[in-house]
Amino acid sequence: MTTNQYRLGVLLGDGIGPEIVPSAVAILDAAVAAAGASPIEWTELPLGRAAIDEYGDAVPSATLEALDNVDAWLLGPHDSASYPEPHKSKLNPSGTIRKHFQLYANIRPAKAFPGGNAIVPGTDLVIVRENTEGFYADRNTFAGTGEFMPTPDVAIAHGIITRKATERIAHEAFKLARTRSKKVTIVHKANVLRLTTGLFRDVTREVAQQYPDVEVNDFHIDAATVHLVRRANRFDVIVTENMFGDILSDLAGEVAGSLGIAPSINSSDTHAMAQASHGSAPDIAGRNIANPIAMILSSAMLLRWLGAKFQDDAILAAADIVEDAVERTVVEGTATKDMGGSASTTEFTDAVVAATRSGVPAAQGA
C-alpha cells in the first residue's frame, strides 16, 4: 500500500463543535493506525467566538494562512448568530473559508443506518451542491454581497448562475454517479426562474452527454421535496444550485434518520474541508449528548478525498474503516438520544474507536 504523511487542520468552532470535532479526530487516528497508514499530524487553529475574544476576528488571517499550508481540515459548526457586532453581520466563518478557497463543490450524502430511525429506510443518496453562486447573497459576488436595501422598506437580492460554475459542479455529480448507481437528478425551478435555473438545468444536460452511461432526469425543487419525503430511496445523485442544495440536504438528512448523521465535504481541485451539515446546537452544548456521526463521517469523506487526490490506498482503507465502524456501532445498539439510544457523545466515540481496533463495536446505550 502507498501511504503519505498528512497535516490536517482542526477548527473546533462553537456550540457542540469542541465535543464532536475531537470525536472525529480520535476515530480518524484509530482508523489510520488500523489501516497501517502514517499517523496524521494535527494542527489546531482558532475560529469562531473564541477567536473573536482572543484575536478580534472569527476567522483570523493567520488561520487562513495556516489552512493554505495543510493538506485539508476539519471545521466544527459555528454559532455566528450569537456573535457580537460587527462580527454578527459579517460573512460567517464557513462562508468566509469557502469563499477564500473557492470550495465550489459541497457534497452531502444522506444514508440511512440499518436499525436507525429513518423516515425512508434504504435511503442512500448524495446531494451535489454548487457552492459559490446561486441565490445565496453571501457567495455570488466577488466583493460585497448580492443583497442590499435601497430604502429601509425595500430589500433586493440577486442570484447568479454561470455556465462555468454549472459545468464544474455537473462534472463532479456525473463522476460521482459513475462510482454509485449511475443516476443523476437535476433539481431546478426553470418553470419560474427560467433564465437562471433554466441555464443550470440546460448546461447540466449538456454535460450529461459526456456521460452516456449515466441516467439523467430532473425535478422542480417543490416536486423534489415531495419525492424525497416519499421515495428518497429511489434517488442516487442529486445536483442543484446553492440554496436548493442547502434545503434539500437538510431534508434528506432527516429522512435518512437525523440531521446528526448528515456529513458533508466542501472541496475544490486543491483544497478540502470536512464540515457536518448541521449547526452548532448551542442548546445542548457542553452536555455530552451531541451526535458526532455527521462530523465523523465528514472526516471519513475527507480521507477519501485525500486518498483519491494522492492515490493513497492506505488512507482510502482508513476511510472504509471509519464508515464501517460507525455503521456497525449503530447496528449493534450504541446510539445517541436523537437516534433512539442513550449513549453520550464520549460513549459513542469510545464504541466506534473500539470497533476500528477490534472489528467488534461495544454495544451500549441502546
Residue 47: predicted pLDDT: 95
Q: How far apart are CA 153 and CA 176, in angstroms?
A: 45
- What pLDDT score does 363 carry? 44
Q: Is 136 a catalytic residue?
A: yes
214-223 burial code (b ≥16 CB/10 A, e <16):
bebebbbbee
Q: pLDDT at position 145, please?
A: 74
Q: What is the CA radius of gyration of the chain?
A: 20
Whether 138 sits among the annotated catalytic residues: the reply is no
Please tell me the predicted confidence (pLDDT) of residue 117: 79
**Is the pLDDT reported for residue 219 higher than 80?**
yes
Model confidence at 361, in pLDDT bands (50, 70, 90)?
Answer: very low
222 noted as active-site residue: yes
**Catalytic one among 71, 79, 236, 250?**
250
83 is catalytic: no
The predicted-structure confidence for 270-325, as pLDDT tens digits, reads as follows 999 999 988 899 999 999 999 999 999 999 999 999 999 999 999 999 999 999 99
Task: Answer yes or no: are the C-beta atoms of 260 and 294 closer than 8 Å.
Answer: yes
Cell numbers 451539515 correspond to 277
Maximum alpha-carbon separation in the chain: 64
Residue 234 scores a pLDDT above 80 = yes
Q: 360 pLDDT band (50/70/90 cuts)?
A: very low
| DSSP element (H, E) containing 346 | helix 345-358
Active-site residue identified among 53, 68, 222, 269: 222
> Of the residues 189, 211, 236, 312, which is catalytic?
189
Least confident segment among 81-90, 236-245, 299-308: 81-90
* Domain 118-256 superfamily per CATH: Isopropylmalate Dehydrogenase (3.40.718.10)
In this prediction, residue 243 has a pLDDT band, given cuts at 50, 70 and 90, of: very high
Catalytic residue among 57, 136, 211, 350: 136
Q: Tell me, what's the pLDDT at 362?
A: 45
Instruction: Over range 105-128, report the average pLDDT.
Output: 91
Q: Which of 140, 184, 190, 191 is nearest to 162 (CA)?
A: 140
Spatial separation of the C-alpha atoms in residues 264 and 190, rounded to whole Å: 27
CATH code for residues 1-103+265-366: 3.40.718.10
Question: Residue 184 forms beta bridges with which residues?
Answer: 216, 237
Query: At residue 39, what are phi and psi to the nearest 5 degrees?
Result: -60, 145
Sheet with 237-240: strands ordered across:
41-44, 7-11, 72-75, 272-275, 265-267, 105-111, 124-130, 237-240, 183-188, 215-220
Contact 354, 361 (CB under 8 A): yes
Distance, in Å, from the CA atom of 239 to the CA atom of 329, rounded to the nearest integer, reads 31
Check whether 99 has a pLDDT greater than 80.
yes
Alpha carbons 104 and 183: distance in angstroms, whole number: 21
For 139-150, the pLDDT digits (tens) are 667 777 778 899
Q: Can you tell me the distance from the alpha carbon of 297 to that of 323, in angstroms, rounded to the nearest whole number? A: 7
Give domain limits for the chain: 1-103+265-366, 118-256
Query: Is 211 a residue of the active site?
Result: no
Residue 115 has pLDDT above 50, yes or no: yes
Percent of the chain with pLDDT over 90: 81
**Secondary structure (3-state) at 74:** strand
Which position has the grid cell 476500528? 356
Choice among 71, 246, 312, 350 that is catalytic? 246
Q: Which cell goes with 67? A: 489552512
- Report the distance separating Cα 49 and Cα 19, nearest Å: 15
pLDDT digits (tens, 9 = 90+) for 135-188: 886 666 777 777 889 999 999 888 899 999 999 999 999 999 999 999 999 999
Residue 41 has pLDDT above 80, yes or no: yes
List beta partners, residue 154: 151
Give the residue-averaged pLDDT of 24-31.
Answer: 97
Q: Which amino acid is at 281?
A: A
Q: Report the mean per-residue pLDDT for the chain.
A: 92
CA distance 121 to 262: 15
Q: What is the pLDDT of residue 2?
A: 54
Equal fold, 1-103+265-366 vs 118-256: yes
Instruction: Count other Cβ atoms within 10 Å, centred on residue 359.
Output: 12
